[in-house]
């Protein structure tokens, strides 16, 4: 988690902390830089979960291939798992700009594949339950983190809008912008 120093005692505190846990000093809002640091850290976390799931797909495919001794079934499983790993690398890249959508797609893909597998071969639903639970929890964590980043972005945009609305509009001074008008011409002499 990104951290800063308390304005009262100097202890490390979370970027979004309202009060220091060590001394109880109320913390002032940190501004855009601190918010950006927090969003970047959270975004990295969401992206890391998506990439980790892709890595687990690749590792499990390689393990199944090694255990299967290179059989035709083992080659198919390896190819599918490496394709899923490549898809997750793409989702990881996409998560930089759309973390919630990418994490949601990763979770839907995972659940859909395992439901289809269970329909085709019901015995597979019980195989690898701990790994399946881990994948769902990891992708759930990515979605949760992505929602947090989305909320931070929305809050920052709202704060900028309020600040822009509160700032007085700079109106040009009419007397300074235009030269003084010349006096009207004198009436012609009779």
Q: Compute the distance between CA of residue 104 and CA of residue 2 in angstroms, rounded to an integer.
A: 25
Average pLDDT of 72-85?
93
Q: Report pLDDT for 169.
A: 57
Tokens found for residue 130: 């701990």
- Whether the CB-CB separation of 34 and 14 falls below 8 Å is answered with no
Q: Which of 41-45, 86-90, 137-141, 186-190 has the lowest mean pLDDT?
A: 186-190
What is the pTM assigned to this prediction?
A: 0.61
Residue ranges with strand state E in the chain = 3-5, 12-14
């Amino acid at each position: 988690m990104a951290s800063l120093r308390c304005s009262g005692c100097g202890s490390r505190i979370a970027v979004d902390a309202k009060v220091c846990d060590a001394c109880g000093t109320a913390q002032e809002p940190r501004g855009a830089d601190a918010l950006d640091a927090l969003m970047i850290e959270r975004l990295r976390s969401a992206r890391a979960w998506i990439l980790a799931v892709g890595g687990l797909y690749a590792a499990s495919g390689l393990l199944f291939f090694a255990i299967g001794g290179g059989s035709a079934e083992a080659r198919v499983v390896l190819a599918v798992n490496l394709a899923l790993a490549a898809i997750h690398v793409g989702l990881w890249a996409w998560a930089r700009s759309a973390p919630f959508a990418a994490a949601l797609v990763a979770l839907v893909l995972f659940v859909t594949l395992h439901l289809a597998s269970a329909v085709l071969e019901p015995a597979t639903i019980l195989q690898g339950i701990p790994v399946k639970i881990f994948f769902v929890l990891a992708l759930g964590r990515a979605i949760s983190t992505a929602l947090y980043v989305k909320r931070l972005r929305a809050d920052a945009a709202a704060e900028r809008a309020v600040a822009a609305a509160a700032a007085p509009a700079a109106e040009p001074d009419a007397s300074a912008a235009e030269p003084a008008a010349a006096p009207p011409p004198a009436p012609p002499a009779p």
